[in-house]
Structure 1
């Protein structure tokens, strides 16, 4: 605990002396000196010069070494894997992305993770022994402590020890979380959500999901299933089997919208940017494109109204395919919400793109891990891993 307090103060105060650290931490000078010397040997702290004298010998200044260790952030977003290595300040050093062949499965996903890790290490020159671990965003309802995915229509990982299997294959500690949760954390820390303690992040892609932050704290729910808005009863209701997509995402996720567009617009092309293409066709006067677009906006707004009426957020962040609706689309949704709910939150477009999930993954692992000595890493909750 004393080590961590020293490191925390060094992260907050650049270039301070041992005497300053003793005052900041309220620890004794001998204690601070001993622990600082220990962490200098481990590479966590640098001596970086001499400070101004306050009447005696000039003090030696200390600085936290953000490059001592690194972390990896990874997220499966749709059919693409995004990965990055970051230093201990959270700054991204090297990026990697790979489009998974379709249809994919859990084994293919793990092989892509292995390939991505070695590619990152090769490009960055980072030694694997200096990695604290990997924060990984997965589709579905993740159980972070158990290391399983309890509900995942797209991967076949339901109930399996995903975390343990990935750790065994990669030889590194792994923290799993829901992909949209990590995107939410990314925008909260570094994007348009920064400074908003009460916010909802909504994502429309292969599925539909949301992340919820209340009073600056991420809300996960009793079974870590909060934000699974794809299961809202929005749209045409069909009989569902366990492990399948929910009603909302069966009717208004990106792949389904694409299929609807192909049925009414034979000339419709491609799977990416489906909403952007519909908007262009509507602007060109295609009546069926206008009708489909209005139907999409209305049903997305139904889902938003459900969330807003319960959570009353200050900010709503739109992401995924919703990014392309533009100011006119936001105005249409705002007008509908004004009719339906007492208070309409501020609405912003996500700013970080595919970096949001990576940044969220990196922040989550930096907050959960701390270096206890040069070869052990402690995860909050009591789990210990040897960093070999």
Structure 2
């Protein structure tokens, strides 16, 4: 028994030492074996033995020589970002976006799947499973190289427990969705709200790069917001921050538990489509409702013009309520709002100038559908990096 314990401890220590070396190379590419020994506080023979092992496995590669400090020029090493892969997936309404990325977070391949209607939890999970298989084949990625998958889901997600506590679009209510996905895909899963994923993607590599605080507002099947404060995603005490779809904006008929909120019932894509149909406007559910209303308004439809102004007023109300509380540096508009033309954007700015004490910088999202994928991939890399320390 004692001998087994020592063997187990030795394996654990070795793995920790390997992860320490890899962590240093991820943080600072092109280090020599001597520099790794200093940074990891491991002996040079230990570092050399582990490095040779990982070179043979393809985790580390030699990339030339560095400057000499009196002796032989040191051989430099770098982490092979293609050694492993990460998958990101984001659900929004009847759409599933999925991508595979390398260990630097750069997307290698991307795939889009339209979900079968009506969407429910089982059909969503089945689409996730099937799309992953097709994506891995299309990208030539071996499943054994995938370290995990980040999944963005609509509704209130409990990131630590992997539970979805409130998702009207799929019917998930207090269900352990994270565990179900892990069992089906046989992969570690990082679960989060879809808009939180999008927010992180836009913050790290899109319109929000370089600011310390922003609000990311998304209009799709529902309406939600992601909040970055002091360069950290703010989740709230029960991970329900940013659920602005429940603001009391627009007509507010009685709401039953499990239904969409008042704001999103009125001014989400589905809500606007309902208003357009009630006015007798012919609109295509497969294309941007905002673009169609703009076109109809420009063609002289007074009903489309009136609905367009109603939409701008509703969206601006939600923005005003949010930014007047949080005072962010930047507001990023996404989802259906990326189709705003200059006139629409100016109208929203005019309303906000009348309503809020301080105006943030307003930008349209730069990454669009890639934002959620970038955020999902980043969440897995962040979790993997933390676990390796």
Q: Does 1:241 align with 2:256?
A: yes
Q: Does 1:146 align with 2:161?
A: yes
Cα distance in 2 for residues equivalent to 1:369 and 1:5? 12
Structure 2: unaligned runs, 5 residues or longer? 1-15
Contact 1:21 1:32 in 2 (8 A): yes
Q: Secondary structure at the match of 1:256?
A: helix
Contact 2:23 2:388 in 1 (8 A): no
Cα distance in 2 for residues equivalent to 1:28 and 1:235? 67
Cα distance in 2 for residues equivalent to 1:134 and 1:81? 14
Cα distance in 2 for residues equivalent to 1:332 and 1:79? 30
Q: Does 1:160 align with 2:175?
A: yes
Q: Secondary structure at the match of 1:317?
A: strand
Q: Secondary structure at the match of 1:75?
A: strand
Deviations 1:24-64, CA, capped at 9 Å, x for gaps: 55655445434434433443211233334332122121011
Match of 1:300 among 312, 315, 330: 315
Q: Does 1:316 align with 2:331?
A: yes
**1:193 deviation in Å?**
0.6
Q: Which residue of 2 aligns with 1:55?
A: 70
TM-score normalised over the length of structure 2: 0.91
Cα distance in 1 for residues equivalent to 2:79 and 2:346? 47
Range 37-46 or range 346-355, more displaced = 37-46
Q: Secondary structure at the match of 2:341?
A: helix
Cα distance in 2 for residues equivalent to 1:6 and 1:186? 27
Cα distance in 2 for residues equivalent to 1:218 and 1:345? 18
Q: Which residue of 1 aligns with 2:362?
A: 347
Contact 2:217 2:334 in 1 (8 A): yes
Q: Which residue of 1 aligns with 2:204?
A: 189
**1:309 deviation in Å?**
0.7
Q: Secondary structure at the match of 1:159?
A: coil
Higher helix share: 2
Cα distance in 1 for residues equivalent to 2:286 and 2:64? 56
Q: Which residue of 2 aligns with 1:70?
A: 85
Q: Which residue of 2 aligns with 1:118?
A: 133
**1:156 deviation in Å?**
1.3
Q: Which residue of 1 aligns with 2:297?
A: 282
**1:269 deviation in Å?**
3.1
Match of 1:357 among 350, 367, 372: 372
Cα distance in 1 for residues equivalent to 2:340 and 2:161? 38
